[in-house]
Amino acid sequence: MKFTPYSLFAITSTLLLGLGTIFASRTFDIILHDSFYVIGYLPISISFSLISGLMALIYFILQKTGKRINQKIGFWHWSLFNFGWVLLAISFNLEQLIKNYNVVEYAIMGLLLGGLTTFLISFLTFAFGVFKAFRNKDM
């Protein structure tokens, strides 16, 4: 099977949805200023799975219409997307892994910022690929 960006995003979407249902009973706690939030794994997993599925659909439609995104750009987009959600998943679970709360607070903020920055770079890479595909006249 030849892996294309849309097939990789489709596989990622299925995997994320499966992991969300397996860990549906687990929650993570977010302390933000004076507020305390408890969020389940399933809603987070469903939202990441939905984003990944939409990316797969967009890549599939672009390929079928003849506006192909460069494979390298697609693989970079997929890699950065997955690296971003892994960083966010680690930051959500870091409090249970490390018991030194002074270290945890700064590490969580660093990982959250790193994950969100990676997502931003991922979507900028995707936008660059789409722009390049539509600008290319010989396709």
Domain span at 40: 5-133
| 46 domain-assigned | yes
Q: Coil, helix or strand for 35?
A: strand
| 138 domain-assigned | no
Supply the pLDDT for residue 40: 73
| 90 domain-assigned | yes
φ, ψ at 67 (rounded to 5°): -100, 75
pTM: 0.75
69 touches 132 (CB < 8 A): yes
pLDDT by residue for the chain (139 residues), tens only, comes to 678 888 888 888 888 888 778 777 776 666 656 666 677 777 878 888 898 889 889 889 988 888 888 888 889 888 888 888 888 877 777 766 666 666 667 777 788 888 889 988 998 998 998 898 888 755 4
| 69 domain-assigned | yes
Q: How far is CA 90 from CA 34, 94, 119, in A?
A: 23, 6, 15
| 139 domain-assigned | no
Supply the pLDDT for residue 139: 47
Supply the pLDDT for residue 1: 64
Query: What's the structural domain count of the chain?
Result: 1
Q: How far apart are CA 134 and CA 62, in angstroms?
A: 10
φ, ψ at 40 (rounded to 5°): -80, 160
Residue indicated by tokens 């809603």: 43
| 88 domain-assigned | yes
